[in-house]
Amino acid sequence: MMGQIHDELLYDLCPSEQDHIFEVTRRVMCEDIQQHSWLIVPLDIDIEITNVDTPWFYKEEIKA
């Protein structure tokens, strides 16, 4: 992970690791966090990708 901007995580990753990184991120942010009793809403994440050196305007949403 390169950084966090508000409620977004920014990764610079190898394409062969993409599926693993997305699954771990989804598990931690949607399932593992549910151990807190005060968190009572279901959580979900959206994943958007772009090529290196491409403006964020061109991000494409993918299903993970």
Give residue 19's pLDDT.
Answer: 92
- In this structure, what are the phi and psi dihedrals at residue 21, rounded to the nearest 5 degrees? -60, -45
Domain for residue 21, yes or no? Answer: yes
- Closest listed residue to residue 9, CA positions, set 54, 19, 42, 21: 21
Domain for residue 4, yes or no? Answer: no
Q: Which residues pair with 60 in a beta bridge?
A: 49
Domain for residue 8, yes or no? Answer: no
pLDDT digits (tens, 9 = 90+) for 7-57: 788 888 888 999 999 999 999 989 998 888 898 898 899 999 998 889 989
Domain for residue 42, yes or no? Answer: yes
* Domains in the chain, number: 1
Domain for residue 41, yes or no? Answer: yes
With bands split at pLDDT 50, 70 and 90, how would you rate the model's confidence at 64? low
Domain for residue 2, yes or no? Answer: no
Dig out the tokens for 13 from the structure: 């990753």
**Distance (Å, rounded) from C-alpha 34 to C-alpha 39?**
6
Are 62 and 48 within 8 A, CB to CB?
A: yes
Dig out the tokens for 54 from the structure: 């491409």
* Domain extent at residue 27: 13-62
